[in-house]
């Protein structure tokens, strides 16, 4: 037997209703905000992620699925959803269209990391990107989209926010961090030592206990913000208050990617049981330019679907089932033409039905109809068919009636 690769998971037919439920909710939210769907390839040129996600990120350094294709091109399976959307925005000259451009996607993402609960080497994301708008209203709207989505699933995670400042603020802050960490860097982990050289901001992300103690005393970004950055952030907070969006500021939140400017955020379990963020995002106003496009601000988020499903299961949230099967045809006769034409007529009229394909006895056909939860069974018996009629059984009430074949579709649709 050949097994599934480590860190991946099948979506099985008997679980697909959970995915459908979540995706339908996401599409419904997208419709309300007038966001259109985009789909980009699973693989891109490696350079896109090296330049987009950033050289100093763990993703690019350690976690990418990169290989040479048969034409000797370096190709990478996308580790996140944003870079591909931005590449497409630039390549298709969307910056020439009226702004904002809003798009959403469902995409698989690939990261070579140690598999653990809720962290897979292939996972799927629901993401939204909003191009061409800066300011409070766009920031608030992106947070509203995400919180509305969670709410539609019966969840109210807390929004954890931070403001990383504009390019100028960042420069000052990074300088302060260097001055603070340099004298004590030998007491910190190897990753932090590297981060001090490549991207000191990411030291704040370190989960090693000894590092955390030092990080706690580090200067706060809020002490380095210029007036514009300060005012914009305060503005956003007052809007979030008025919208009753539950948030908390966390000044060590930097997120693992290099491309963020100003706003970053994550969504966390409101009761603190879940030990990982349910999703996150922020603003990346320099990313389009960095990838060769005309300077365009972007704000967006991504939400991992596997982790979301796990979380919903842990909260005993009921996933709506797919639509129930309308009817199952129980056949007491052996007449392929008759059976398949009745089935065809039902399906042509929009009614879902199944018929026996594996030669079950009549008794086990009934059992099976029960098991698959069909609303009706249609019983084809020799005598009835002579009079052009069949027996229709309502599987919930047990009620049975004789129905003329011509009336079958209407009778089922009546119920
Ligand atoms: Zn600033
Ligand atoms: Zn560290």
Estimate the crossing angle of helix 190-198 against helix 167-181, to 10 degrees. 140
- The domains of the chain are located at 13-166+226-314, 327-414
Determine the distance separating the centroid of ligand 2 and the alpha carbon of 206, expressed in angstroms: 5
Determine the distance separating the centroid of ligand 1 and the alpha carbon of 322, expressed in angstroms: 49
Q: Using one digit for the tens of pLDDT, what is the confidence trace for 230-240?
A: 999 999 999 99
Q: Of the bound ligands, which one is closest to the alpha carbon of residue 224?
A: 1
pLDDT on residue 207: 85
Q: Of the bound ligands, which one is closest to the alpha carbon of residue 228?
A: 1
pLDDT on residue 201: 87
Determine the distance separating the centroid of ligand 1 and the alpha carbon of 171, expressed in angstroms: 9
Determine the distance separating the centroid of ligand 2 and the alpha carbon of 48, expressed in angstroms: 28
pTM flag (> 0.85):
yes
Determine the distance separating the centroid of ligand 2 and the alpha carbon of 192, expressed in angstroms: 4
Pairing mode, if any, of strands 247-249 and 65-68?
unpaired
Determine the distance separating the centroid of ligand 2 and the alpha carbon of 287, expressed in angstroms: 27
Determine the distance separating the centroid of ligand 2 and the alpha carbon of 201, expressed in angstroms: 12
Q: Which CATH superfamily is domain 13-166+226-314 in?
A: Bira Bifunctional Protein; Domain 2 (3.30.930.10)
Determine the distance separating the centroid of ligand 1 and the alpha carbon of 260, expressed in angstroms: 13
Determine the distance separating the centroid of ligand 1 and the alpha carbon of 84, expressed in angstroms: 28
Q: Of the bound ligands, which one is closest to the alpha carbon of residue 192?
A: 2
Determine the distance separating the centroid of ligand 2 and the alpha carbon of 253, expressed in angstroms: 15
Whether domain 327-414 has CATH 3.40.50.800: yes
Tokens standing for 279?
A: 């999703």
Q: Of the bound ligands, which one is closest to the alpha carbon of residue 206?
A: 2
Residue 317 Cα distances to 58, 267, 312, 313, 314, angstroms:
33, 18, 5, 6, 8
Q: What is the dihedral of CA 184, 188, 193, 197, to 10 degrees?
A: -40
Residues of the chain with pLDDT under 70: 117-118, 256-258, 270-275
Determine the distance separating the centroid of ligand 1 and the alpha carbon of 169, expressed in angstroms: 4
Q: Of the bound ligands, which one is closest to the alpha carbon of residue 229?
A: 1
Q: Of the bound ligands, which one is closest to the alpha carbon of residue 164?
A: 1
pLDDT on residue 98: 96
Determine the distance separating the centroid of ligand 2 and the alpha carbon of 202, expressed in angstroms: 9
């Amino acid at each position: 037997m050949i097994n599934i690769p480590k860190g991946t998971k099948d979506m099985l037919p008997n679980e697909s209703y959970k995915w459908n439920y979540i995706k339908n909710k996401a599409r419904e939210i997208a419709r309300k905000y007038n966001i259109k769907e985009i789909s980009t390839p699973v693989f891109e040129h490696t350079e896109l992620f090296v330049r987009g996600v950033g050289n100093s990120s763990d993703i690019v350094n350690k976690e990418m699925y990169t290989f040479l294709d048969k034409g000797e091109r370096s190709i990478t399976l996308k580790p996140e959803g944003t870079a591909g959307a931005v590449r497409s925005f630039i390549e298709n000259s969307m910056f020439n269209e009226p702004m904002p451009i809003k798009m959403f996607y469902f995409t698989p993402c690939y990261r070579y990391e140690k598999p653990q609960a809720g962290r897979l080497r292939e996972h799927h994301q629901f993401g939204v990107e909003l191009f061409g708008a800066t300011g409070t209203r766009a920031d608030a709207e992106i947070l509203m989209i995400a919180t509305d989505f969670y709410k539609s699933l019966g969840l109210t995670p807390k929004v954890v926010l931070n403001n990383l400042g504009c390019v100028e603020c960042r420069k000052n802050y990074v300088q302060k961090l260097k001055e603070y960490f340099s004298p004590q860097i030998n007491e910190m982990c190897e990753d932090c030592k590297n981060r001090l050289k490549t991207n000191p901001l990411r030291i704040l992300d370190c989960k090693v206990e000894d590092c955390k103690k030092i990080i706690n005393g580090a200067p706060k970004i809020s002490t380095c913000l210029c007036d514009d950055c300060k005012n914009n952030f305060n503005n956003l907070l007052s809007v979030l208050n008025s919208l009753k969006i539950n948030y908390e500021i966390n000044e060590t939140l930097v997120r693992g990617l290099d491309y963020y400017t100003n706003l970053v955020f994550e969504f966390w379990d409101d009761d603190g049981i879940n030990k990982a963020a349910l999703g996150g995002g922020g603003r990346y106003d320099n990313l389009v330019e960095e990838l060769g496009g005309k300077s365009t601000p972007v704000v967006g988020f991504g939400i991992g679907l596997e982790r979301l499903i796990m979380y919903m299961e842990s909260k005993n949230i009921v996933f709506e089932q797919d639509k129930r099967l309308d009817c199952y045809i129980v056949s007491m006769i052996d007449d392929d033409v008759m059976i398949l034409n009745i089935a065809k007529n039902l399906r042509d009229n929009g009614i879902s039905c199944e018929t026996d394909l594996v030669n079950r006895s009549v008794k086990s056909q009934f059992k099976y109809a029960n098991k698959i939860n069909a609303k009706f069974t249609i019983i084809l018996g020799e005598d009835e068919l002579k009079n052009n009629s069949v027996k229709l059984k309502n599987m919930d009430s047990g009620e049975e009636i004789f129905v003329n074949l011509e009336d079958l579709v209407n009778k089922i649709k009546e119920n």
